[in-house]
A and B are shown apart, each in its own frame.
Chain A
Amino acid sequence: MSITLKLGDGRQFMSKTLLKLTTSLVAGAFIATAATAADTYGPFPVTVKGYEGDKTNSVSYTGQIARHALHDSLKKAAAKGDGGANAAEVEAMLLAYFNGSDEDLAILAPASKDGFPVKQSTVNEISKGKNISGKFYNGAMPAWPGNVSGQEAVLHMIKHAAQSNGGFDAENGYDWGQIISKYTMGAMMYNQAVDNYLDEKLEADNKPNDKPYKDGAYYTGKEHSWDEAFGYWGGPAHTMSLTPKQAYGIAKGKDLAAADADGDGVVDLKSEHVFGPAYYAAGADKGGTQSTNYMHTIMQAFIDGRQLIADAKGEALTDAQRSELKAYAEVIESNWEKVLAEATFKYAGSVYKDIAKMGSLEGEELAKAYRNYVKHWGELKGFAMALQTGKNNLGGTATELNKLIGYGPVTLDNTYVTGIDADGNFLRERRATWSDYQLQMLQAQKLLKDTFGLASLTNDATADLESLAGKLSSDSNAETD
């Protein structure tokens, strides 16, 4: 502030030297600010007592990054089916990414492309021996037909994805890659982070801070628990210096400059890429009303929590420290839940709009619009299921949401999936009009907005009503004669 004033006031009689000096002062101040504001997740010192190795940074979450790579690849692989002929082969492939494999699996996504080179090309280059299945929510999943558990639901999806043509089931209205992927963002990432690492692992007797996470580890129990939760969140270490737009660009493989924090010209998946949950936080902040700050709020809480643990210097956390840590965990959990709800809200709006669009189309154009509709519905369904894998039982909200969204979208002949038969095949025993389904989307948006206190509200199907009402100033309505 004072420097700027100097520049302005002294302009007339400022010598060249003075100008140079002032400029470097400004630059220096800028760099100093940047260094404190752009807080990164790590490096944090090794604090575990009795560690004798040569590690100096105790941060470690490569296992979670490997799982992100498995998840992104699983989504990609879900589109490999050719309509039945290669079903066995594709199912094996999907299960390899889901269950992990003795072989080193290729990373199908995020893969290197022009202008966005990725450092790792196989999962083992990130971390060995990882899978999705071992970390997948397995409580009841009433959002999916057949009285299934969380894992049974995803295996059912995988089986159908393998039999589909390019991951698309037009008849029943499923886009398998989308449903599986979005559901996994809840069932693995969100669930593991908020219901495990940020929950019971924060208790005093669980993974204490005065002991290594496991024998010989260079990080303490609490350090690593926190790191694991952070890993599932999927934001790069330098998230605080990214705008939501940049984070979005990185996830889409379009912004190498923003991703490449260490300037080595390649994107290191271990610390520089933006994965699922962080990507959707950025999306909510960037879109809609642009009034939210989910990405930085969650990231800051992760950094502050990790700093708190590092500051304990390998001693067990006091009750006060743990309750402070739990407060950070609470910030992460509630905002993460909102991010999932915002995404669900957004896709309910997409589905609403897609239906309006399809109404005036025919033939080829209708088929294309229907494909988009099914894609958006898959994202809607996946996120709605993801929301139901958290720490809190959503109770009536979940029941209502599942009723409104249904097991499947209203398809071109107005039927929709109502359940499965004994062999796991989908049954479509009822019909609904497009308008009815649109109304359900409106109700789903209202339910989500009211229950979770959403603010970004991308694709709000009733936003136009409000803005128009605002234009007609209502108090001059009282003018009489």
Chain B
Amino acid sequence: MEVWDNLIWIVQDFVDPRKRVFVGYLFLSLVIAFVWMWWVGRRNPDNTKRSSLRRLFDKRIFFSNSAKADYKIFVLNRLFSGFISPLLLTQVGIATGMFYLLHDQDWIRSGAFGNTPKALVVALFSLTMFVVDDFTKYLLHRWMHRWPALWSLHKVHHSATTMTPITVYRVHPLEGVLYGARGAVAQGSTIGLFIFLFGNTVDLYTVVGVNVLVFAFHVTGSNLRHSHVDIHYWPWLERILISPAQHQLHHSVAEEHHDKNFGAALAVWDWLFGSLHLSEREKDLTFGLDGRDADYEADLGTIYFRPFKEIGRFFKRRATRLWHTVPKRSSPAAPRKDA
């Protein structure tokens, strides 16, 4: 009984349609990948359904050291999921704070658009929620790459040398908390704003309990972003939506691919802020980190603890530098160690 309960607890994301790795989405991703592989190689006489399947379920990918580390991290990180639950309370708090704050504004009154047709409000809310969520994910992802302390954490995700849908869980727990906090702020303030403007007509269009747009993202193969199936879109579409191949390019070790394609579902943010890189056909990518950080690949100790060490070192360096550049006013006669 107890064993069974524990098992359920570990695999519950696979049966939760609000999660990317829900079995239904995984199955659809497989179908998409299979059709893609067969279609891409349709002129190659060696390309049979059987060979497509074999390439899809490549042992060297699913049982690589990197993938095995992913699976362990998946289980371990479930232990940390408790850190994220209190964020729901934070989200309600932020929504309420936003709601209060808006009442303090003289130029707008509550329920100002209370007579808007319900269908319109719900559509607008669902769309806004999706866009705001996606944009804040883009921003945070960008910062994860730009700021050294955050990069120490985000390196964990980029250290995967082979990718499977489970790689989405290859994230340092602290990064998970940061993303959770982002969600609380983004969603909380959007909720507060909408309820203030539209009153109780606000609602979300959901399918199987998830925003219909998020659902669309998942059924169209969101799981293939972390895979070796390099599905790419037409160039015009890759400026609007991030294709699996574009995210794979984000994971590439090649210098020219660094800091590109931060987007989650939408590519417009990358396009707008100059970090877009269209996918490159027929080009094999190498995933992972270069040289010095290679031991991140499969060593769990490194993966969980190295980031703390690095962040500690980083702040120590900062503090020392700060200490030396601030002139000591209280004792002007004291000799400066360096200039």
CB distance from A168 to the nearest CB of B (A): 25
B87 CB contact (under 8 Å) in A356, A464, A477, A480: A477
Interface membership of B247, Cβ < 8 A: yes
Task: Name which residue of chain B comes closest to A442, CB basis.
Answer: B100
Cβ distance A345 to chain B, nearest Cβ, rounded Å: 16
Given A359-B112, A360-B115, check contact A477 B105 (CB 8 Å).
no
22 intermolecular pairs with C-beta atoms under 8 Å apart: A355-B110, A356-B199, A433-B106, A434-B109, A439-B104, A442-B99, A442-B103, A464-B195, A464-B199, A469-B92, A474-B84, A474-B183, A475-B180, A476-B20, A477-B133, A477-B184, A478-B84, A478-B177, A480-B168, A480-B179, A481-B157, A481-B250
Residues of chain A with a CB closer than 8 A to B307's CB: none
Residues in B with CB closer than 8 Å to A356 are: 109-111, 114, 199
Q: Contact partner of A474 among B19, B88, B99, B225, CB < 8 A?
A: B88
CB pair A469 B109 closer than 8 Å: no
B137 close to A (CB within 8 Å) = yes
Q: How many of chain A's residues touch chain B, expressed as a range?
A: 20 to 34
In chain A, residues 255-279, which have Cβ atoms closer than 8 Å to a Cβ of chain B? none
Q: How far apart are the CA atoms of A442 and B195 in the complex, in Å?
A: 14
Complex-state Cα separation, A464 to B121, whole angstroms: 14
A32 at interface by CB-CB < 8 Å: no
Q: Counting CB contacts under 8 A, is A468 at the interface?
A: yes
Any B CB within 8 A of the CB of A60:
no
Residues from chain A with Cβ under 8 Å of B127 in the complex: none
Which residues of chain B have a CB within 8 Å of any CB of chain A?
A: 18-20, 81, 84-85, 87-88, 91-92, 95-96, 99-100, 103-106, 109-112, 114-115, 129, 133, 137, 141, 157, 168, 171, 175-177, 179-180, 182-184, 187-188, 191-192, 194-195, 199-200, 202-204, 206, 209-211, 225, 247, 250, 264
Residue ranges of A at the interface with B (Cβ–Cβ < 8 Å): 355-357, 359-360, 433-436, 438-439, 442, 462, 464-466, 468-481
A480 near B99 (CB under 8 angstroms)? no
Q: Which residues of chain B have C-beta atoms less than 8 A from A471's C-beta?
A: 203-204, 206
Instruction: Determine the chain B residues whose CB is within 8 A of the CB of A438 once the complex forms.
Output: 103, 110
**Beta-carbon nearest neighbor of B102 in chain A:** A435
Chain B residues with Cβ below 8 Å from A472 are: 91, 129, 183, 187, 191, 204, 211
Question: Chain B residues with Cβ under 8 A from A433's Cβ?
Answer: 106
A435 & B109 in contact (Cβ 8 Å cutoff): yes
A465 to B175, CA, bound (A): 27
A481 touches B103 (CB 8 A): no
**What chain A residues lie within 8 Å of B188 (beta carbons)?**
469
Q: A464-B202, A476-B18 are in contact. Are A360 and B95 (CB under 8 A)?
A: no
Cβ–Cβ < 8 Å partners of B176 in chain A? 478, 480
- The answer on a CB contact under 8 Å between B105 and A435 is yes
Residues on the A chain within 8 Å of B100, using CB: 439, 442
- Is the beta-carbon distance between B84 and A465 smaller than 8 angstroms? no
Known: A433-B106, A462-B96, A469-B188. 13 other contacts (CB 8 A): A357-B114, A435-B109, A438-B103, A464-B200, A465-B192, A472-B91, A474-B91, A475-B88, A477-B182, A477-B183, A477-B187, A479-B168, A479-B179
Distance of A462 Cα from B95 Cα, bound (Å): 9
CB distance from A449 to the nearest CB of B (A): 12
Q: Contacting A475 at CB < 8 Å: which of B85, B203, B209?
A: B85
A435 adjacent to B103 (CB under 8 Å): yes
B187, closest chain A residue (CB): A472
A306 to B124, CA, bound (A): 59
CB nearest to A359 among chain B residues: B109
Q: How far is the CA of A471 from the CA of B203 in the complex (A)?
A: 9
Could you tell me the distance between the alpha carbons of A355 and B87 in the complex, rounded to whole angstroms?
32
Shortest beta-carbon distance from A323 to chain B in Å: 40
